[in-house]
Amino acid sequence: MKRNLTATLLLAALLTASLASCGGDTTDSTVTGNADTQADTAAVTEELDALEARKLVPDDLETVDYGGRTFRIMGDDACVDYYLMEEQTGDVLNDAIFNRNAAVTERFNIVLEADVFSEDQLIPQLRNTVMAGDDAYQLFSGHIVYAGNAVCDSLYYNWYDVPHINFEKPWYSSSTVEDLTYDGKCFLAMGDFALTTVASTYCVYFNKQIASDYDIEDLYALVENGAWTIEKMTELTKSVYRDLNGNGEADQQDLYGFTMPAWSNANAFLWAFGEKLGKKQSDGTILLDYYNDHVVEIYEQMYELCWNTQGSFVTTTIDEWAIPGTMFVSNQTLFHPSVFDSAATALRDFETDYGIIPYPKWDEAQEAYYTMVDGGHEGMAIPVSISDPDFVGRITEALNAESYKQTIPTYYDIVLKNKGTRDETSIAILDLILAGRIFDFGYVFGNTDGAAFWMQMLMQQKSADIASMYEKNHKMFDKKMAKVFTFFEEYENE
């Protein structure tokens, strides 16, 4: 499937005007002013709201006229509407994507194209392209687990060898450097062009009416005070249960404190409690450390919440996957872990007031709230078969920068905040949740049968026996990861 977009709209006027008012160079969108200029820019930024302030962040790119050259993206067909929009329709997200692309295509005089494939065909298609030495695609954006599993196939360029890419810019997740960079190399990056890294972020929804009915304490205050922990979640879950159908049995027609499908929703608790499969060390190496006393305690606590706590309703099969979410929109659930995108889709017409909070911490000593992004999200890669790294780096950086300035604010501030969440406090908490996203080296490169998925597997089996799971599976996982480490260490850009 191919879609073309030739930009017809230049949207850099606001940014150019803003920079001009700050004394910046308006010949392009690069800020090259002196210290006074930068100070003026900072002062203006403080006076703007977050959406407008984003537009003042310079991308430090020189504007180059590429004479109508094509920049082609290989993407996931499920995400095609995040890549290209052929016209403005009045839909805020559609138009933000259109405008982002227009800003880049007009500025650099290029044409954007995208070929999209089903998620299971993306890597085979990329492999064919690379093996043929064909510079058919300049950017890959696809399913992170499939992409990560193929890292040793030598399909990807090292991001640190691509000109103009600056991971210190706010349009890249800090986890790209902190978790996915090893031995000075990074093959999969998390940037704002990949909108699903926001949309698929895990959080906890709560029903405000049920919270009021059961005199639940101020959940936002708990979060803000650092007291929102798994112990507190379990305590509150125990306090909410009602046999709505009066049959004397706990079933899906009843009211619960906590409902969840035991899938990636469950896996996310491992990261929420401060654990990682691959832990970056002070010398830059990554230590595989996914079976320790704390991990054992985590599995035991999750078993307690899921299977020994009155007020919990957890499903274990794919046929039952949607039931907990349906129960939430039927006002049968106080707490329901899900992804951000639920606010813009399943909950968009939900009449009952609800709030969004992060996954709980392990205890109050934990420094911050953490979360993960569902494995179906996109990771970005540069195909190793590209012929012009300077061109690819410049346009890729511009796409991520404009996504930060236009697309993400629209999705996050308008779709989620104004249409999804119902109060100002939860808006601030969304920022906190996004700041706690972790893209774990062991998750991204560990395959679908790796240790990242043991939580859901054990909860589906109604077991906390992480010791047996480790003994049966760790050698295969360690062997897989040893191969990945060796690939990083021996990789050389030819």
Query: What percent of the chain stands above pLDDT 70?
Result: 88
Residue 399 confidence (pLDDT) above 50: yes
Residue type, 27: T
Residue 418 confidence (pLDDT) above 80: no
Q: What's the gap between Cα 459 and its chain centre?
A: 24
Predicted local confidence at residue 342, as pLDDT:
92
Predicted local confidence at residue 454, as pLDDT:
96
Average pLDDT over every residue of 342-358: 90
List pLDDT tens digits, range 195-228.
Answer: 999 999 999 999 999 999 999 999 999 999 999 9
Residue 406 and residue 409: Cα distance in Å, rounded? 6
Residue 416 confidence (pLDDT) above 90: no
Residue 31 confidence (pLDDT) above 60: no
Residue 41 confidence (pLDDT) above 50: no
Residue 124 confidence (pLDDT) above 50: yes
**Cα torsion at 411, 415, 420, 425 (round to 10°)?**
60
Average pLDDT over every residue of 369-381: 94
- pLDDT class of 396 with cuts at 50, 70, 90: very high
**CATH code for the domain defined by 2-199+376-420:** 3.40.190.10
Predicted local confidence at residue 494, as pLDDT:
58
Query: What percent of the chain stands above pLDDT 90?
Result: 74
- pLDDT class of 419 with cuts at 50, 70, 90: low
- What does each C-alpha distance from 75 to 117, 125, 145, 216, 380 come to in angstroms? 6, 11, 14, 44, 9
- What does each C-alpha distance from 171 to 29, 44, 437 come to in angstroms? 16, 20, 14
Predicted local confidence at residue 51, as pLDDT:
64
- pLDDT class of 49 with cuts at 50, 70, 90: low
Reported CATH class of domain 202-374+422-490: alpha beta
For the ranges 26-35, 41-50, 167-176, 327-336, the lowest mean pLDDT is seen at 26-35
Residue 448 and residue 332: Cα distance in Å, rounded? 32
Rounded to the nearest integer, the mean pLDDT of the chain is 87
pTM of this prediction?
Answer: 0.87
Average pLDDT over every residue of 383-403: 97
- Residue 473 contacts residue 176 (beta carbons within 8 Å): no
Predicted local confidence at residue 53, as pLDDT:
81
Residue 89 confidence (pLDDT) above 90: no
List pLDDT tens digits, range 68-84.
Answer: 999 999 998 877 778 87
Range 450-476 burial, b when 16+ CB lie within 10 A, else e:
bbbbbbbbbbbeeebebeebbeeebee
- Residue 233 contacts residue 357 (beta carbons within 8 Å): no
Four-residue CA torsion sign, 94, 99, 100, 102: positive
List pLDDT tens digits, range 278-309.
Answer: 999 999 999 999 999 999 999 999 999 999 99
- pLDDT class of 88 with cuts at 50, 70, 90: confident
CA nearest neighbour of 407 among 171, 116, 167 = 171
Residue 5 confidence (pLDDT) above 60: no
CB atoms within 10 A of CB 261: 24
Residue 147 confidence (pLDDT) above 70: yes
- pLDDT class of 23 with cuts at 50, 70, 90: very low
Predicted local confidence at residue 287, as pLDDT:
96
DSSP bridge pairs for 172: 191
Predicted local confidence at residue 3, as pLDDT:
34
Residue 10 and residue 408: Cα distance in Å, rounded? 19
Sequence ranges of the domains in the chain:
2-199+376-420, 202-374+422-490
Predicted local confidence at residue 409, as pLDDT:
83
Predicted local confidence at residue 492, as pLDDT:
84
- pLDDT class of 412 with cuts at 50, 70, 90: confident
CB atoms within 10 A of CB 212: 10
Predicted local confidence at residue 7, as pLDDT:
28
List pLDDT tens digits, range 426-469.
Answer: 777 888 998 899 999 999 999 877 899 999 999 999 999 999 99
